[in-house]
Every structure is written in structure tokens, then in C-alpha cells.
Amino acid sequence: MKKRFRFLAILSILALFVMAACGEGGGDSAEGNSGDDGGKKESDIKFLSILTGGTQGTYYPLGGSFAEFITDETGIKTTAESSQASAANMTALQDGTAEIAFVQTDIAYYANKGELMFEKDGAIDSVSAIGSLYPETIQLVTTDKSGIKTFDDLKGKKVSVGAPGSGTYANAEQLLEIHGLTMDDIKAQNLDFGESQESLQSGQIDAAFITSGTPTGAVEALNAVAKVNIVPVEEDKADELIEKYPYYAKDTIEAGTYGLEQDVPTVSVGAMLVIQNDIPDDVVYDITKAIYENTDKITHAKGALISKEKGLEGIGIPVHEGAQRYFDEANGK
């Protein structure tokens, strides 16, 4: 009997040791979880996707350069993807289908506030800015054969205005408004830049709104086969537009661009990069540095306008802390 009690006592002691060991391991696990805020860790980031726009715009070639810089400088495999541009890009980042995107500054503002095309689904608060890039010129493109010289000439004509909810669509709608027109006054066509170029070339449409950095590939392609005209936004109309929508600025398409014989006055918004909020600060710092420290390697003409000194200009949404740290250091703040 004593042997039996002794045996049971030994088993009890061993059981206590096992339970203590398990409890200690569980305590470590709980402690590790308590420090996890649910966001991504730096070590989790293996791949990044940059959403751009149509292949005939400015976002796409620049995105390819940025993806290369990020891959080379950070070791994170990064690819540039074509997309439906600004509004769709903001929604895609909100949905988690990509991490980085190009977007117009006005569209980013609408998304952050839940206004206009974002009013139905609500504000997008999971995306912040990396930095601003360059002016995006609103170009009302037509050909010499169309006979269109002014906004009034658009009445009853087939005009490409971009996809509904896109940045180009919003710009077209607001410029038409300032000139006393609505979408009902034209035969609106929802085409991307490449489709607009092909349709202008074939005579299927009469004009196209294109919001993109100049020179834009689609318009250059059109100029190779037809005489391009850009309908001007006269100064008084530009002033009226800016008074109502202050994120616009006056701009000029210089003579020689697309074979133009003289400067054409117009307006522009800004292009910027945005990123998901939960990308770690250190990763965003490295991404921002990779882009803004390699602008001299950008072959597109807009590369000359991208700089760390102007990286925070015109941004109307919160800046990611990692990007802010880079600009503060780079600009000596």
C-alpha cells in the first residue's frame, strides 16, 4: 500500500511539473500576442503591388520605374499593374487587393472625406499619402478634322469622359459645368486613354478628356497619325473653376508638345502616391526613400518634376508616418 501511495505521489508531482511547463509556454504566447497590434510586420512584406492606370497614360511607365527602384533598394519584389486609375485605385487599397497606388490629389481628397463618387460607400480611412509627384494636366484633345475649337463646340458631339467615378470623369464634369454644360449636352463615351486615342483616330468620337502628365503616350500616338488640337481653358474660366474647386491650378501645354504651334492654357490637378496605413513605418520609409532618391533615373519627362523638396506639396490627406519621417530627414526638418 505504501508503495502504491508513493507511486501516486510521484505521478502527482510529475503532473504538476507538466502543467507548470505548459502554463509557462502559454504565458509566453499570450505575452507575444499582447504586443501585436494586428498590423503587418516588416518581415511579412515579401511582395508589393503598385496600381497605376491605363497603359497609354503616365502612371503606368512611372509605376514601372518606381517598382524597379523599390525592388532594388529594399529587396521587396514590387510590380506595377495597370488599372482603372484614381478612384478605382483608392477602393482597391481599401479592399486590400494592392498596397500602393497612383491617384489624383482631388480624388484622394474625395475618398478621405467620403464625397462625390465615394459618398455612397463612405470615406476611405485606411489609406495615407506617400508623397506628391507632378501636375496632371486636364487635356481636352481633338483633331483638326473635328472643327472643335471651344467648349461650346462640344454640344451634341461624341466626347470621351473616362470611366464613371474616375478622376478624368470628375474633371470633365467640372470643366463642362464651368462652361455652362452638362453631360446631357454631349454624347458621353466612357473610354480609357488608349480607347480614346483609337476612337479619335478612326473618327468614332470627336474629342476626349484626358487627365495625365504631359506628354501623354496616347496623345503622342494620335499626333503621329493626325493633327492634334487641345481646346484651351481660358483664364477667366480657369479662375472661376479654381474659386469653386481650389485643388485645381492653372497650367500650360507648351508649344511643340504634340506638334502644337503655340502654348495652350488649361488647368491641372496633382498626381500623388498613396499606400495602405498598415504597411510598417520602416518599410514605407524605405519605399519613399527608394523613389525620391532615384528621380534622376526616371526616363519619362515627368521625372524632372518629382523631387523630395516638393514631396509634400498639395496633399490633402494624412501622410504615412514612414513617409513623413523620410521627408523630415531629407529636407532637414
* C-beta atoms surrounding 61 within 10 Å: 20
Question: Which domains, from first to last, does the chain contain?
Answer: 45-133+271-330 (3.40.190.10), 136-269 (3.40.190.10)
Condensed to tens digits (0 to 9), the pLDDT of residues 280-332 reads 999 999 999 999 999 999 999 899 999 999 999 888 899 999 999 999 999 98
pLDDT digits (tens, 9 = 90+) for 170-188: 999 999 999 999 999 999 9
Residue range 16-47, pLDDT digits in tens: 444 444 444 433 333 333 334 445 665 689 99
Residues 6+ apart with CB under 8 A from 102: 50, 51, 52, 53, 59, 62, 63, 85, 86, 89, 133, 271, 272, 273
Distance, in Å, from the CA atom of 160 to the CA atom of 176, rounded to the nearest integer, reads: 13
Q: Hey, how many other C-beta atoms are within 10 angstroms of the C-beta on 238? A: 20
Q: What is the pLDDT of residue 39?
A: 57
Alpha helix segments (H runs only) across the chain: 2-34, 59-74, 86-95, 105-113, 167-178, 193-202, 217-223, 235-244, 281-292, 321-330
CB 279 within 8 A of CB 125: no
pTM: 0.76
